[in-house]
Amino acid sequence: MTSTLIWIAVALFAIGLYLSWTAGRLDRLHARIDAARAALDAQLLRRASVAQELATSGVLDPAASIVLYEAAHAARQAEEEQREVAESELSQALRAIFADPGQMDVVREAPGGEEAANELAQAVRRVPMARRFHNDAVRAARALRRHRKVRWFRLAGHAPFPMAFEMDDEPPTALADRPTS
């Protein structure tokens, strides 16, 4: 009788230890999602700021400046529910404006244009990487949260279900092919 109780206590302790480890792993994944989201937000803000700065510099033609400024402003001011759409529209505006490689030559020839072009190229390249890191962390957390043990024992606590950030982040070819210095 005593040995049976000891074995039951050991089994309960092992199960508790395993559940505690799983809850800790899930907590670390949620922390990783938060850090990746902060990095993604920073890169999106940087891209919108650089685009807005370029739009107001007077380097681009007036129509392109207006389109780029409005898309960048909308991306910076978008509410969380509309953020993915606004960021996709900024990507589309950048592709439309820089579809013509001659537009990059115009930017480069302007005073301070080389630095602005490099900064925009770096910002445009970093957004897909930051989004990929965020979505990978979301995928890992979702996979763990789907397990029965996580649902049955409510190991996720009150953490919201992680959502991926889906947007059009394809860079313009004139900026994607640009070497950074």
The torsion angles phi and psi of 15, rounded to 5 degrees, stand at -65, -45
Per-residue pLDDT of 116-173, as tens digits, reads: 889 999 999 999 999 999 999 999 999 999 999 999 999 988 889 999 999 999 999 8
Q: What is the 3-class SS of 124-171, one letter each residue?
A: HHHHHHHHHHHHHHHHHHHHHHCCHHHHHCCCCCCCCCCCCCCCCCCC
Calculate mean pLDDT across residues 72-101. 95
Q: Which residue has the higher pLDDT, 115 or 134?
A: 134
Tell whether the model's pLDDT for residue 181 goes beyond 60.
Answer: no
| Band of pLDDT at residue 177, cut at 50, 70 and 90 | low
Q: Is the pLDDT score of 178 beyond 80?
A: no
Helix, strand, coil fractions of the chain, as percent rounded to 5: 75, 0, 25
Average pLDDT of the chain to the nearest whole number: 92
Whole-number pLDDT of residue 179: 57
Amino acid 31: pLDDT: 96
- Per-residue model confidence as pLDDT tens digits over 56-86: 998 888 999 999 999 999 999 999 999 999 9
Using a pLDDT cut of 70, give the percent of the chain over it: 97
Q: Residue 131: its pLDDT value, please?
A: 97
